[in-house]
């Protein structure tokens, strides 16, 4: 490609819409343009890089035995109603109506479609196992799109779905995908690490996310450098000890605490009850049903864990500002700040307590009477706990549950996610097969996603310097940029450039010839900004010595004989 025939609109300054570095570089290097919030056009260079990522994904999925298909983005709402996600996923579903008023859903993911396909086509164990994948546009009505391609309304995803006859088979499929993902990200030049993950609304029992460490990521990952434990903070646990038990002793005693409505306030004089001797009592609604959640005063509730433990599709804290929720506080007899689980708890309310409180006594908690608290409370003796769960959020420095070394927490970008789904969708959508024994059984499923557009941006986030992008060779839009500093067609410099251009093109190298009549500085700056892995500089000075320059992006210049330039480039490309 000749630069003058391409469209590479580089920018000296980043548009104000971009906040993080990778987003700025996407815009400045002329890869991407925004049409609307969370909706983007890929310019030629951006598309080339995207295609490179897609191709790596495709090759590794094929190698893992998956079959590429292409499913529709436009989907009938009926299958979503069948799976139950028409309701549970309604917040992210784009719904459209055609001219005859029939409703459609723009696919945010494809479990429903692929399971419907399997229901029709995979009727015998002889056809199993199968793994279908596609690389396709997804639509999600994100509450807040942000950071360019990181969280967009419309984005490209590789999604795969495996169908097995047995649980063991499904685990083998899962393992294959896990291994394929490791190879995919490695080939993309990305440093990723897998972490244990929550399975969320999608359901399932086993799940890992592939994370790219980055301060701009939207996930917190808990990890242990000593033993390798790593988990999304939504899922992570630690070996932190339970609350120290004291002698059972005194009976519950009510005491006045006028105006004290926070853990912090109660921990100060005159009461001076340390936060770790307090019970935080929260009113939560799980699918609209009220419950009490008990957490130690110095801990934070992990809502994802709460959702997982209750099995609810939606959990939210009761809100004093919401008139409909006030009844729940009235039922307890107090407002937040004085809530407790000792007295006046309606008999049909579940009381969920965090494991860290198990066996704790001599604790202080609200009395369900505004302005009063109870002291000398024993969890076992004084509170009707209906469920004990791990509900707290891990914090940095806590001992690892496996090896007791201090845990660390870092931010990361989720680029891939593998799930073992089980039979949730195959049962609901009728993906049954006839087994050897003649019995009809639901397929055991797995699903596996890679955010392709997000991965592309993650590469930029990880591979850059002050001058611009530093593309890993495997995903660079062009591997080589030829930079003649004289572009007159009859000049020796340009004629040599044309010769090298022709030879590299013939060798199948992705090469761009910067034939613009621009000053050297402009060409160098643009080449650095766009981030071509190798730049070949051709100028009169070096050519007088019979040499051209080879400059790897971010590396030092080397000089090679002009007649050896093509071979040197091929060698630098590892070919």
- C-beta closer to RNA: residue 157 or 360: 157
- C-beta closer to RNA: residue 44 or 520: 520
- C-beta closer to RNA: residue 237 or 542: 542
Backbone φ/ψ region at 189: left (φ over 0), alpha (ψ -120 to 50), beta: left
Q: What is the C-alpha separation between 342 and 376, in angstroms, rounded?
A: 11
- C-beta closer to RNA: residue 234 or 510: 234
Identify whether the C-beta of residue 171 lies closer than 8 Å to the C-beta of residue 207. no
CA-CA-CA-CA torsion for 91, 80, 128, 185, nearest 10 degrees? -20
| Dihedral sign computed on CA atoms, order 194, 198, 202, 203 | positive
Give the residue, chosen from 34, 344, 405, 410, that forms a contact with RNA under the rule CB under 7 A.
Answer: 34
**Region of 12-20, 50-58, 261-269, 277-285 interacting with RNA (CB under 7 A):** 12-20
Q: What are the contacts of 27-33 at 24+ separation with CB within 8 A?
A: 27/148, 28/468, 28/529, 29/468, 29/469, 29/529, 29/530, 29/531, 30/530, 31/477, 32/148, 32/149
**Region of 11-19, 221-229, 390-398, 405-413 interacting with RNA (CB under 7 A):** 11-19
Q: Greatest CA span in the chain, whole angstroms?
A: 100
Q: Where are the alpha helices (DSSP H) in 352-486?
A: 379-382, 424-428, 452-462
* Coil, helix or strand at residue 465: strand
For the chain, the first-to-last Cα distance in angstroms comes to 21
| Dihedral sign computed on CA atoms, order 144, 150, 152, 158 | negative
Q: Closest approach of Cβ 91 to RNA, in Å? A: 6
The 3-state DSSP composition of the chain as helix, strand, coil percent (nearest 5) reads 30, 30, 40
Give the residue, chosen from 389, 467, 472, 492, that forms a contact with RNA under the rule CB under 7 A.
Answer: 467
Q: What is the C-alpha separation between 538 and 482, in angstroms, rounded?
A: 8
Q: Where are the alpha helices (DSSP H) in 235-334?
A: 263-266, 303-310, 323-332
What's the 3-state SS for 373-390?
EEEEECHHHHCCCCEEEC
- C-beta closer to RNA: residue 94 or 372: 94
Give the residue, chosen from 526, 531, 562, 565, that forms a contact with RNA under the rule CB under 7 A.
Answer: 526
Site string for RNA, 398-417 (x = CB under 7 A): -------------------x
Q: What is the C-alpha separation between 319 and 284, in angstroms, rounded?
A: 9
Site string for RNA, 471-490 (x = CB under 7 A): --------------x-----
- C-beta closer to RNA: residue 105 or 266: 105
- C-beta closer to RNA: residue 93 or 170: 93
Residues 6+ apart with CB under 8 A from 69: 117, 132, 133, 134
Site string for RNA, 144-183 (x = CB under 7 A): xxxx---x--------------------------------
- What backbone torsions phi and psi does residue 525 show, to the nearest 5 degrees? -60, -45
Give the residue, chosen from 76, 84, 200, 552, that forms a contact with RNA under the rule CB under 7 A.
Answer: 200
- C-beta closer to RNA: residue 12 or 97: 12
- C-beta closer to RNA: residue 173 or 216: 216
30 binds RNA (CB under 7 A): no
561 binds RNA (CB under 7 A): no
Give the residue, chosen from 481, 551, 565, 569, that forms a contact with RNA under the rule CB under 7 A.
Answer: 551
322 binds RNA (CB under 7 A): no
Q: Provide the β-strand partners of residue 470.
A: none
469 binds RNA (CB under 7 A): no
CB atoms within 10 A of CB 477: 27
| Residue list 109-128, contact with RNA (CB under 7 A) | 109
| Listed residue (298, 256, 247) closest to 277, CA to CA | 298
User: Site size for RNA, by CB under 7 A?
Assistant: 63
**Region of 32-40, 338-346, 388-396, 398-406 interacting with RNA (CB under 7 A):** 32-40
Give the residue, chosen from 473, 529, 550, 572, that forms a contact with RNA under the rule CB under 7 A.
Answer: 529
Give the residue, chosen from 254, 268, 387, 519, that forms a contact with RNA under the rule CB under 7 A.
Answer: 519
7 binds RNA (CB under 7 A): no
- C-beta closer to RNA: residue 53 or 89: 89
Site string for RNA, 59-78 (x = CB under 7 A): --------------------
Give the residue, chosen from 5, 7, 16, 311, that forms a contact with RNA under the rule CB under 7 A.
Answer: 16
Give the residue, chosen from 201, 244, 406, 502, that forms a contact with RNA under the rule CB under 7 A.
Answer: 201
- How many residues would you count in the chain? 575
- C-beta closer to RNA: residue 4 or 262: 4
Backbone φ/ψ region at 200: left (φ over 0), alpha (ψ -120 to 50), beta: left
**Region of 143-151, 170-178, 423-431, 473-481 interacting with RNA (CB under 7 A):** 143-151
189 binds RNA (CB under 7 A): no
Alpha-carbon 184 to chain mean position? 16
- C-beta closer to RNA: residue 159 or 354: 159
**129: preceding bond cis by omega (within 30 degrees):** yes
Angle between helices 21-28 and 452-462 (to 10 degrees): 100
- C-beta closer to RNA: residue 15 or 44: 15
Q: Closest approach of Cβ 64 to RNA, in Å? A: 20
| Residue list 261-320, contact with RNA (CB under 7 A) | 303-304, 307, 314, 316
Give the residue, chosen from 62, 121, 168, 540, that forms a contact with RNA under the rule CB under 7 A.
Answer: 540
347 binds RNA (CB under 7 A): no
- C-beta closer to RNA: residue 12 or 101: 12
Residues 6+ apart with CB under 8 A from 217: 211, 411, 412, 413, 414
Contacting residues toward RNA, per CB under 7 A: 10-17, 19, 34, 36-38, 85, 89, 91-93, 108-109, 140, 142-147, 151, 200-202, 218, 303-304, 307, 314, 316, 417, 449, 467, 485, 517-522, 524-529, 537-543, 549, 551, 557
């Amino acid at each position: 490609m000749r630069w003058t025939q391409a469209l590479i609109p580089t920018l000296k300054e980043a548009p104000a819409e971009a906040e993080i570095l990778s987003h700025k570089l996407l815009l400045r290097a002329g890869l991407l343009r925004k049409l609307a919030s969370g909706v983007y056009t890929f310019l030629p260079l951006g598309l080339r890089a995207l295609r490179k990522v897609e191709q790596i994904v495709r090759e590794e999925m094929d190698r893992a035995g998956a079959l590429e298909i292409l499913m529709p983005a436009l989907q009938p709402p009926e299958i979503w109603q069948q799976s139950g996600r028409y309701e549970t996923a309604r917040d992210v579903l784009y719904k459209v109506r055609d001219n005859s008023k029939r409703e459609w859903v723009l696919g945010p993911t494809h479990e429903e479609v692929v399971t419907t396909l399997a229901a029709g086509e995979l009727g015998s164990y002889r056809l199993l196992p199968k793994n279908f994948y596609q690389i396709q546009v997804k639509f999600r009505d994100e509450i807040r799109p942000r950071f360019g391609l990181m969280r967009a309304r419309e984005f490209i995803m590789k999604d795969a779905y495996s169908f097995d006859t047995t649980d063991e088979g499904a685990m083998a499929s899962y393992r294959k995908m896990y291994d394929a993902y490791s190879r995919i990200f490695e080939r993309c030049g990305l440093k990723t690490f897998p972490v244990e993950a929550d399975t969320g609304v999608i359901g399932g029992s086993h799940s890992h996310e592939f994370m790219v460490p980055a301060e701009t990521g939207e996930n917190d990952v808990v990890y242990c450098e000593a033993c390798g434990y790593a988990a999304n903070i939504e899922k992570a646990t630690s070996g932190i000890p339970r609350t120290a038990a004291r002698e059972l002793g005194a009976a519950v005693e009510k005491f006045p605490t006028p105006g004290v409505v926070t853990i912090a306030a109660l921990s100060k004089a005159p009461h001076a009850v340390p936060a770790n001797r307090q019970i935080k009592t929260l009113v939560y609604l799980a699918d609209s049903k009220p419950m009490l959640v008990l957490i130690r005063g110095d801990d934070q509730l992990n809502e994802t864990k709460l959702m997982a433990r209750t099995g609810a599709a939606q959990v939210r804290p009761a809100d004093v500002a919401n008139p409909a929720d006030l009844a729940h506080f009235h039922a307890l007899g107090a407002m937040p700040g004085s809530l407790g689980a000792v007295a006046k708890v309606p008999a049909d309310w579940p009381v969920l307590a965090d494991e860290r409180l198990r066996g704790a006594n001599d604790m202080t908690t609200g009395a369900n009477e505004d302005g009063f608290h109870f002291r000398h409370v024993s969890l076992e003796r004084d509170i009707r706990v209906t469920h004990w769960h791990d509900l707290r959020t891990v914090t940095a420095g806590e001992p690892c549950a496996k090896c007791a070394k201090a845990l660390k927490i870092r931010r990361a970008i989720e680029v891939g996610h593998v799930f073992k789904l089980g039979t949730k969708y195959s049962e609901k959508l009728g993906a049954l097969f006839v087994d050897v024994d003649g019995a009809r059984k639901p397929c055991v499923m797995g699903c596996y996603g890679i955010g392709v557009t997000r991965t592309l941006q993650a590469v930029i986030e990880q591979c850059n310097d002050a001058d611009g992008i530093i593309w890993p060779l495997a995903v660079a839009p062009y591997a080589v940029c030829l930079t003649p500093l004289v572009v007159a067609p009859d000049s020796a410099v340009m004629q040599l450039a044309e010769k090298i251009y022709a030879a590299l093109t013939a060798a199948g190298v992705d090469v761009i010839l910067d034939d613009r009549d621009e000053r050297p500085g402009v060409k160098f700056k643009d080449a650095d900004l766009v981030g071509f892995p190798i730049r070949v500089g051709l100028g009169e000075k070096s050519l007088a010595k019979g040499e051209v320059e080879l400059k790897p992006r971010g590396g030092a210049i080397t000089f090679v004989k002009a007649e050896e330039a093509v071979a040197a480039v091929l060698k630098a490309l590892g070919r």
